[in-house]
A and B are shown apart, each in its own frame.
Chain A
Amino acid sequence: MSTLLKVQGVHTFYGSIEALKGVDLEVGTGEIVTLIGANGAGKSTLLMTICGNPHPRGGRIYFEGEDITGRPTYEIIRRGIAQSPEGRRIFPRMTVLENLQMGSITARPGSFDTELERVLTLFPRLKERIGQRAGTMSGGEQQMLAIGRALMSQPKMLLLDEPSLGLAPLVVKQIFEVVKEINREQKMTIFMVEQNAYHALKLAHRAYVMVTGRITMSGTGAQLLADPEVRAAYLEGGH
């Protein structure tokens, strides 16, 4: 398996506060990799740093072997990284279809119809709601839309920032099943940041644990799931 994304010793600052203190991480082609950690550990910061906003102050980021450190966001996205941002950030006053169309704004010409078909098969619920204003949908549907929108650009890699945030357990399960399906059917590489450690670890091929800006542990999903330290910190308490 070739490495698709490589993060090497990345330091990111917000002003004088060091949010990432030298992060190393790799995502291979076709993998589901998840990053778990508590609130404020720097998980979302890492995702955003990969996308070039903010830029890291130290370290390098490689995508498909090419150095993308310091490149502008739109260029990084156009290289084939799609993001479902934290808090979903769909366009609430636009219809579902318009939202999906926005996702295809950087896609190859002529790909819209096939991609739309694929996304709507993946999320039949979105097909039902196609003409509805996105802001009037439930949280779960909005999350589906955010993922669908990201897929519309035909990315090589999908970044998911806490897809389970604020959703009911049953909906979380649905979302993770679709994530698994996207990976299986489309051979999509997925890098996912999650607080919902149990579901995320069960789903992921490999996983990293982040504590205050540093990667403290890594292994296969199953390994971390069985690790007593991980269990104590992230899993005990009713998941």
Chain B
Amino acid sequence: MTALPLSRSRGIQWSAVLREAGLTAFVAFLLTVPLVGLRTVDRPTGLTIDARFDEVLVAVFLVFIGRLGLGLIREGQALLVLVLALLATGVGIVAPLPTQVLEVILVGGGLVIAIRATVTLVTNRSTLSQAERDKRMDVVAAKVQHASRWLAPIGIGFALIFPFLPFADRHLIDIGILLLTYIMLGWGLNIVVGLAGLLDLGYVAFYAVGAYSYALLATIFGWSFWVCLPLAGLFAALSGVLLGFPVLRLRGDYFAIVTLGFGEIIRIVLLNWYEFTGGPNGIIGIPRPTFFGIADFTRTPTDGMPAFHELFGLPFSSLQRIIFLYYVILVLALIVNVFTLRVRKLPLGRAWEALREDDIASASLGINRTNAKLAAFAIAAMFGGFAGSFFATRQGFISPESFTFIESAIILAIVVLGGMGSQLGVVIATFLVIGLPEVFRELEQYRMLAFGAGMVLIMLWRPRGLLAHRDPTVTLGGARKAPSGPGSAAAGGVS
């Protein structure tokens, strides 16, 4: 970066730029040969492999051009590159291309480079060092975090009226429910990972315990959702404590591996305990929730309960239950959020943050590490259990298939991408991780490719997560009242 003024005065250093672009093209070649160049085709004679080397060549050429563009931006030719990149994007959108991959590369790549060129033109950012850039991004993150004071009420307000907006159809509300479920899980796991600093790779286990608790209680005893929900949370919390006791002595990697194992154990038990859980067939016919035990959402309820639409004098619509489910998960998620916001100011939350920052120092401050970690585990597990029983009642069917490791990984990705400990970050990351693949369903098998690319980009630009900015829980003005009073009283309970 310091060599920039020099190179500018000497004109463009073509050899360096070309070498760089060539190298990138070579890497692209190595990657595209297996990914794009070979395709398995099902023929009457059996599975054969088709080569598609023309497409490999075009892709490699485009990557070469793209890298060249980036190089030229650095050499001070941003305007030219911007024009060319926009041109490429236009071509990608308008011109008929042989495959979708080329379209994605052309449009996506063109846009990324155009954005880079614009940013360079506007702020001259490419002359900054990586550290300066990180600092700037941190300032932005801090601003966003501060903006959450008014952003959060707006977001919650929008979430509240969303089902009644004109464009909200069944499909969108379903996506909304899905997003909120993952936001809730993200916020729940955030307690363990973001606050207490324990890397839990098996969070889905508690989700599964919650789901099966509700499903079994409801199908065997016929209990209502509203009775089972707290019970499911309790069972999940108990399983959290059960797991916690033996493993909390472990630290770091070892801890993570044991939680990973626990997640798998739960799944395999569910899979093999055929008489109790139905094994791979799962549990079917899980009752849908009623309107707080007052009314039912079916057209003609069978068990003597009044129908929801009759009770409120509305025309019958299957959407009513979906909207109700949406509000249930919204409220559940907000409970987790409010809990996290509050607990950070209490001794329990402070003990968690101390543990995350420095295990040994926490011990020397008199924090009972075992109890604090167990509490984090149990509480996060309880929220996972709530989300699980909601999942069960929404789906009406559950099987061990829904609780595989990839679920844990996705929830963890949400927490990490959002920036550990950041509530708003979890929301944004959920929209990226869950929302984008839903939106890009048309991309079919390239959906996961786009997802992977997104993850890589975030990790490149924001290695500590999108909103990795931690606000102090206390400032001097506010310190007068907040910390001591309720604090120490509860500290006894914590430790």
Residues of A within 8 A of B (CB): 51, 53, 72-74, 77-78, 83, 85, 89-95, 97-98, 101-113, 116, 130-131, 149, 153
Contact = CB atoms under 8 A, between A and B. Distances in A.
A106 B365 CA distance: 7
Contacts of A108: 488
B278 interface: no
Contacts of A103: 365
Interface string B357-370: 11011111111110
A105 B365 contact: yes
Contact of A72 (B368, B487, B489, B491): B368
24 contacts: A51-B363, A74-B366, A74-B368, A74-B369, A78-B366, A83-B364, A89-B361, A89-B364, A91-B361, A94-B472, A98-B472, A102-B354, A105-B347, A105-B487, A105-B491, A106-B367, A106-B488, A106-B495, A109-B488, A110-B484, A111-B484, A112-B479, A113-B480, A131-B472
B464 to A, nearest CB: 11
Interface in B458-477: 470, 472-476
Contact of B474 (A78, A98, A113): A98
A22 to B, nearest CB: 25
B491 A106 contact: yes
B483 interface: yes
Nearest to A115: B484
B228 interface: no
Given A74-B368, A105-B351, A97 B476 contact: yes
B484 A104 contact: yes
B472 A102 contact: no
A109 B484 contact: yes
A109 B102 CA distance: 66
A89 B365 CA distance: 11
Nearest to B357: A91
A112 B483 contact: yes
Contacts of B488: 104-112
Most chain B CB within a 10 A radius of its CB, from A73, A77, A91, A101: A101
B350 A131 contact: no
Nearest to B488: A109
A101 B474 contact: yes
B365 A149 contact: yes
A89 B364 CA distance: 10
Given A51-B364, A53-B363, A89-B364, A109 B358 contact: no
A85 B364 contact: yes
B353 interface: yes
B46 interface: no
A162 B472 CA distance: 29
Contact of B357 (A92, A105, A107): A92
B472 A106 contact: no
A70 to B, nearest CB: 16
A112 B358 contact: no
Contacts of A89: 358, 360-361, 364
Contacts of B358: 89, 91
A214 B476 CA distance: 46
A101 B476 contact: no
A152 to B, nearest CB: 9
Nearest to A152: B365
Given A74-B366, A111-B488, 13 more contacts: A53-B363, A74-B363, A77-B366, A78-B495, A83-B364, A94-B357, A94-B472, A98-B472, A102-B354, A102-B362, A106-B365, A109-B489, A112-B484
